[in-house]
């Protein structure tokens, strides 16, 4: 992890308006939380879309409703059965991503272009892939087994890590993904296992394997077992000329090893790779790993504080399914706790950005990739470049970690510039006027209602609606002229304001 930055940033939040001291006590009795705001629609279709995809599109609500949500979910759990021609078509505009590491090394000479392409293509797929749940899970696992991108030492391999480790197993068995990850050159470089040898083990990977990838902090291992964990993995390296995986028997520690109930005689160096694989598969199926992953999945899809009962149930399913995540997800989305969790997750900057693109009905560039690259840049400036978390633990996924004044401004600014198509200005899509019905509503109140339904999937509560109307200096009952500035040339400001509302910030 030498070249990554460790800049852990967390917070639980802030609470004060400009310039006024806040003492908690005096306000306790006076508060009426959530008095007048718009509550998120409890429509189960919208709820599932907000959680299992990157947000509504003009056609998606109808698609899920028509199919019924349980059947739509089953289709999403089998992504290879979903035609994704639009996405495939645009993915072909990133030809480096289809190349092997050897091909990249032959032509790219250390350039970070392939990693930049991976970032832009990831945004493109999140916005426009039909395999939405797969894309969401790719993001989940990319964070869980994070190899930050861009990462200088993985300029030739980071895209293969995405293509060969994360994507094939994102809706498959974790044990397969874990072994593939641990033995992939990108991870071996990122956490330094490539240079760990028996005489002088490098503990970076052996520690994070336990602490982050499998059983988790508090998983019951001792500091001595952590050091053994590093010893078990010695020898799993790369050829520093070809940069491909290489098992180096002379670097492998031999002799009996024991970690968390797993043990091996580990008698000879020739068998060291098999010992390491056995260790990885054991860890993938450890009950603490099951709980760790179940909890993370529940936090991703249900709430920031899922119940112990849900975590336990999901962990049991995970173990019974041999670490296959699909039955876990099926159980999760069918659970009462999921059903009752409406509005309990906030969108992080990345989810806000992609949801904005999707609900506006924007499509990828007609030619080239400028629009996808611009979106990748914008979300980076908002603090959540996909795969860009520099530490091995991946982006946090609870609201408390994402409260930020400048992050909030960044979202509002993104709504404005994307909605107005200032930048990116190459994305395709119908004119912004089509966000309103072809036949204009009679009153401004009805215009706001129509826009809210079109963009957020629901109407606003009275107070929010009134605030929007005040902002555009129109009355609810005022009649709408077709050449009004808010229809003709300032509509993007009104659209941005509706996306700025708290509702769009929830998933």
Partner 1 sequence: MTEPLTQTQPCGCPAGEPSRALSRRNFLRVAAATGVLSGLSAPLLSTKLAYAAAGPSYTGDVLVVLSLRGGFDGLSAVVPAADPHYYSSRPDLAVPASLLLARGPLFGLHPALAPLLPYWQAGTFGAVHAVGQADPTRSHFAALEEMERAAPGTSLRSGWLDRMLGVRGIGTTFQAAQLGSTLAASSFSGLAPELAMDNVDDFKLIGDSAFNLRRAAALRTAYASAPVTQSAPAVTALGALATTAEMAAAGYVPGNGAGYPDTSLAKALRDVARLIKAGTGLQVACVDYGDWDFHENLGGPASGGQMYDHLSVLAGALAAFATDLGTAMSGVTVVTLSEFGRRLAQNGSGGVDHGHGNAVLLLGGGVVGGRVHGPWPGLAPAALDQGDLRGMTDYRTVLGEILQKRCRAGSLSTVFPGFTMPAPLGIVSVRS
Query: Which residues within the stretch 202-221 sit at the binding site for partner 1 (CB under 8 A)?
Result: 202-204, 207, 211-212, 217
85 or 200: CB nearest partner 1? 200
2 or 85: CB nearest partner 1? 2
Find the shortest distance in angstroms from Cβ 223 to partner 1.
7
Find the shortest distance in angstroms from Cβ 275 to partner 1.
20
- Measured distance CA(401)–CA(255) in Å, rounded: 43
24 or 438: CB nearest partner 1? 24
- Among residues 46, 290, 497, 499, which is the contact residue for partner 1, using CB under 8 A? 497
- Measured distance CA(432)–CA(362) in Å, rounded: 10
Find the shortest distance in angstroms from Cβ 236 to partner 1.
14
Find the shortest distance in angstroms from Cβ 241 to partner 1.
18
422 CB burial (10 A radius; 0-12, 13-18, 19+): exposed
Instruction: Please compute, for residue 501, the number of CA atoms within 13 A of its CA located in the half-sphere on the CB side.
Output: 27
Residues 243-282 that bind partner 1 (CB under 8 A): none
- Under the criterion CB under 8 A, does residue 382 sit at the interface with partner 1? yes
Residues 186-205 that bind partner 1 (CB under 8 A): 192, 195-197, 199-204
Find the shortest distance in angstroms from Cβ 234 to partner 1.
10
Find the shortest distance in angstroms from Cβ 314 to partner 1.
19
- C-beta separation of 374 from 127 below 8 A: no
Q: By three-state DSSP, how is residue 420 classified?
A: coil
- Measured distance CA(157)–CA(114) in Å, rounded: 9
Residues 417-456 that bind partner 1 (CB under 8 A): 417, 420
Q: By three-state DSSP, how is residue 382 classified?
A: coil
138 or 468: CB nearest partner 1? 468
- Measured distance CA(16)–CA(230) in Å, rounded: 47
- Measured distance CA(7)–CA(388) in Å, rounded: 12
Query: What string marks each residue from 25 to 54 as x (binds partner 1 by CB under 8 A) or -?
Result: xxxxxxxxxxxxx-xx--------------
138 or 191: CB nearest partner 1? 191
Structure tokens at 450: 């129509």
Find the shortest distance in angstroms from Cβ 356 to partner 1.
15
Binding segment (CB under 8 A) for partner 1, from list 81-89, 139-147, 341-349, 435-443? 341-349
Find the shortest distance in angstroms from Cβ 59 to partner 1.
26
Q: Applying CB under 8 A, what is the total number of residues that bind partner 1?
A: 103
- Under the criterion CB under 8 A, does residue 309 sit at the interface with partner 1? no
- Under the criterion CB under 8 A, does residue 8 sit at the interface with partner 1? yes
- Among residues 390, 426, 443, 458, which is the contact residue for partner 1, using CB under 8 A? 390
Structure tokens at 448: 């706001």
> Among 34, 124, 12, 186, which residue's Cα sits nearest to residue 502?
34
- Measured distance CA(50)–CA(507) in Å, rounded: 5
- Under the criterion CB under 8 A, does residue 177 sit at the interface with partner 1? no
- Under the criterion CB under 8 A, does residue 458 sit at the interface with partner 1? no
487 CB burial (10 A radius; 0-12, 13-18, 19+): middle
> Among 461, 499, 495, 462, which residue's Cα sits nearest to residue 40?
461
- C-beta separation of 209 from 222 below 8 A: no
Find the shortest distance in angstroms from Cβ 452 to partner 1.
12
- Under the criterion CB under 8 A, does residue 16 sit at the interface with partner 1? yes
Q: What are phi and psi of 268, to 5 degrees?
A: -130, 150
5 or 481: CB nearest partner 1? 5
> What are the E-state strand segments in 406-487?
none
40 or 313: CB nearest partner 1? 40
- Under the criterion CB under 8 A, does residue 223 sit at the interface with partner 1? yes
Number of Cβ atoms within 10 Å of the Cβ of 108? 16
Q: Tokens 């609606």 belong to which residue?
A: 465
């Amino acid at each position: 992890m030498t070249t990554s930055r460790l800049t852990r940033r967390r917070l639980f939040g802030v609470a004060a308006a400009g310039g006024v001291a806040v003492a908690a006590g005096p306000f306790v009795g006076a508060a009426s939380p959530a008095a007048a705001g718009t509550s998120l629609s409890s429509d189960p279709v919208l709820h599932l879309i907000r959680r299992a995809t990157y947000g509504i599109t003009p056609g998606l609500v109808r698609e899920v409703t028509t199919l019924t949500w349980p059947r739509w979910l089953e289709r999403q759990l089998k992504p290879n059965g979903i035609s994704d021609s639009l996405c495939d078509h645009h993915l072909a505009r990133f030809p480096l991503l289809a190349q092997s590491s050897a091909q990249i090394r032959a032509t790219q000479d250390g350039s970070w272009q392939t990693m930049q392409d991976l970032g832009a293509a990831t945004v493109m797929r999140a916005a426009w892939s039909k395999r939405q749940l797969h894309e969401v899970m790719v993001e989940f696992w990319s964070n869980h087994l994070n190899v930050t991108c861009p990462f200088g030492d993985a300029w030739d391999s980071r895209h293969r890590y995405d293509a060969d480790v994360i994507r094939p197993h994102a809706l498959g068995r974790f044990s397969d993904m874990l072994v593939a990850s641990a033995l992939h050159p990108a991870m071996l470089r990122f956490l330094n296992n490539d240079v760990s040898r028996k005489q002088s083990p490098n503990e970076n990977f052996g520690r994070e394997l336990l602490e982050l990838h499998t059983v988790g902090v508090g998983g019951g291992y001792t500091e001595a077992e952590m050091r053994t964990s590093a010893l078990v993995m010695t020898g799993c390296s790369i050829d520093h000329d070809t940069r491909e995986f290489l098992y180096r028997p002379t670097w492998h520690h031999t002799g009996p090893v024991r970690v968390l109930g797993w043990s091996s005689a580990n008698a000879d160096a020739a068998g060291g790779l098999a010992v390491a694989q056995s260790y990885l598969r054991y860890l993938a199926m450890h009950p603490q790993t099951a709980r760790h992953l179940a909890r993370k999945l529940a936090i991703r899809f249900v709430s920031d504080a899922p119940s112990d009962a849900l975590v336990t149930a999901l962990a049991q399913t995970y173990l019974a399914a041999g670490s296959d995540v699909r039955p876990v997800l099926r159980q999760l989305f069918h659970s009462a706790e999921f059903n009752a969790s409406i509005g309990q997750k906030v969108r992080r900057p990345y989810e806000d950005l992609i949801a904005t693109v999707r609900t506006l009905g924007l499509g990828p560039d007609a030619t080239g990739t400028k629009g996808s690259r611009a979106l990748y840049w914008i979300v980076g400036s908002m603090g959540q470049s996909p795969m860009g978390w520099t530490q091995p633990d991946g982006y946090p996924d609870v609201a408390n970690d994402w409260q930020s004044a400048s992050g909030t401004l960044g979202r509002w600014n993104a709504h404005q510039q994307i909605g107005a198509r200032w930048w990116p200005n190459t994305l395709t899509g119908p004119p912004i006027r089509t966000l309103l019905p072809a036949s204009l509503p009679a009153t401004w109140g009805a215009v706001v209602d129509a826009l809210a339904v079109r963009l957020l999937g629901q109407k606003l509560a009275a107070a929010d609606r009134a605030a929007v109307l005040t902002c555009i200096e129109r009355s609810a009952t005022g009649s709408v002229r077709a050449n009004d500035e808010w229809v003709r040339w300032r509509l993007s400001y009104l659209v941005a304001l509706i996306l700025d509302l708290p509702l769009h910030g929830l998933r």
